[in-house]
Structure 1
Amino acid sequence: MAAAGVTLAYSTHRPETLAPAAALMRGHATIILEEPETPGFHAMLRRELAVDEYLTVTEYEYPAFARRSASLLRELFAEGKYIVQLDPYMDVLVSIHEFFTDGHGPSDIAPKTTQAAVYDVEHRWTKTLIHYYEASGQTDFDGLVAALIGFARRDAERGRMRDAMRAEHFARILHKDSSAWPGPVYLEAGSIHFSLLRELVRRLDKPPRLVYLMEDVSRRVWGRRQVLGPSDVLTLLLTFFPDRAGPRPELLAAQSLIHVKIQQKEELEECKEEPAPHTVDEAWSAGVSMALGYDECRELYERLKGLPTPHARRLATDYLKHINRRPVGHIA
């Protein structure tokens, strides 16, 4: 299949993305999801397994999105769409977990295999995540920033490998048998998986068409095709410049510590007045945190620690007014 028949759609797992995703998916014959193969998926599509029953054997961070997404995929399958789950890195990770459940250990993994490579990356990622959690309980802000940068560096490494494996698998099937996935093809991607685009460009005859599902809203509230908070920007920076150090990653990490305290955590329902609440809230929380300098992040973080999200949001708003600063973005 020519690469011109591939659409790379950047999205997030939020309910508000489903309407634009559905409209775009309906213009494609094959829909490839960014998720590992899960038990019962095809039975759910064929309506042999209830959506709620299917979701009980899967792990989804956002239940409202997962339920509505499964119902949408059922509709698309009934319309004749070919639907595929494709995330080889996560498939291998699941196989490693099952290998350990059977009584094996890390030393039993065969060296110089895909399983060994994934295990090594995942082990480094987990180690830095634990270190970041441990640092979160300390009072040293600079140490916490350093721990967050260390984790982001490993998260970027993990993302590069995940994207490379996905692109390689995708391109191999297209080149081996173009009829395996009827075109045109919709390829789902998380909002910061830009290394996937790089890997696809390397492997396909022509670059895929890019679509940002929330672009209209993002341009209205942020001025760009996507709303990216400081942690997203930090991960992207380290994805393409793995050894980058100095003031830029340090500032982004400090801003990320504020951002995570003030952004909405629960799933928000769309309404007539605001059909994209998560995108709007992300623009606000990113705008507040990215308006701050390093020392301002340090001062505000000390005040936010231990506060529930609603209180932290109010305090951050008051702090920005106190230092006579406006949030970054169009909704400032």
Structure 2
Amino acid sequence: MICLILQLIAHLNADVANDTKVEFRRYRFDSSIRKLIWQGNEEHDVLSVDWNEEPYPFGNPNADELNVFDKQGLSITSDTIAIKDYVDNQMPYKSKNQYEYYKTGLYEFQAAALAAYYGLNIVPSENYFEDCGPIYYEEELIPPVPNSREILPYEYPAFIVGINDWDCYQLQHEQRHCKTQCQNGDPIEYGMYGKDLLISVQRSYPSSSADHIKKIIAKFGPVLMSSQVFYGWRTDLQYGLILLQMVREPNDQDEWILTFNEMMDINFTDFTVAYAETFPDKATAYYSTEDFPPVPPEDQKTGFNWKKFLWLLLIIPVGGFFLLWFLYYACCDSGECCGCSWTTVEVHPV
């Protein structure tokens, strides 16, 4: 009897331990055919992360207050967040994919994830999301079983597809093909972020206590639930845990605006989170502070711009030659100098 009781306790403890784990699938993305691929045959294909264990990248879960945007030194408010003027999701102005992109809160979640993990305050491109997101999904199984199927981009919002800056990917391609260049001709990669992040969509997750909610936010950063993004908390002496929330809501003129609110008494059941196996360094946004294209990645790695150097080697000699040529003839035009002499021919009437 005692053995049965001990086994039951061990089983219950195991269930509790499993309830604190979130699984992240490692996908591959074939951008040429816009297919998202998951090979679920190896342990490496799924990363299991326990939010009940350290480290907590975004801060102490026992703190009285926490804001995930503080991690990279950003001040994100309703006035400073870049997407504040780009939250209108109304059809028929938006396509089905773009409408769902906004309706589900995925748009705000991606912006919040980039801010929390990379320190980027940018506007994700809805056109890139539609033109370049996955439209096929396949699981590579053993033994192989044909299972490729059509999907919509918002159904599998994997970060490996990338999030492109609106300053880069502005207008859509005429045939809705995925463009390879920014609006000004720069490579599309210049405005791409977030490919290193993993994403997990949890269904019916048993997490309701204040302690659990705080640990999930401190572990994963922004949390998307019911089209709302939760990005931190504060503790009130009277009401206890108060969550910090951003959500898109209609105002008195039926215009959609982004509001920053506080909420109490909420359970995290169905939610979406991101995760970085190695926390990234703070990134620089495309065109965020400069009026010219950013330094290409190959030049950033070497610290020396060989292209500019070669251009200087070509321009300086050619420019010097034309300068000497100009000075020579300008000097000669004035009369006798630089070894020049003019012969004047006088014409007398007959």
> What interval of TM-score do these two structures reach, taking the shorter chain for normalisation?
under 0.3
Higher strand share: 2
Bigger radius of gyration, 1 or 2? 2
Higher relative helix content: 1
Q: Give the TM-score taking structure 1 as reference length.
A: 0.24
Normalised to the residue count of structure 2, the TM-score between the two structures is 0.23
Relative contact order higher in (CA < 8 Å, ≥ 6 apart): 1
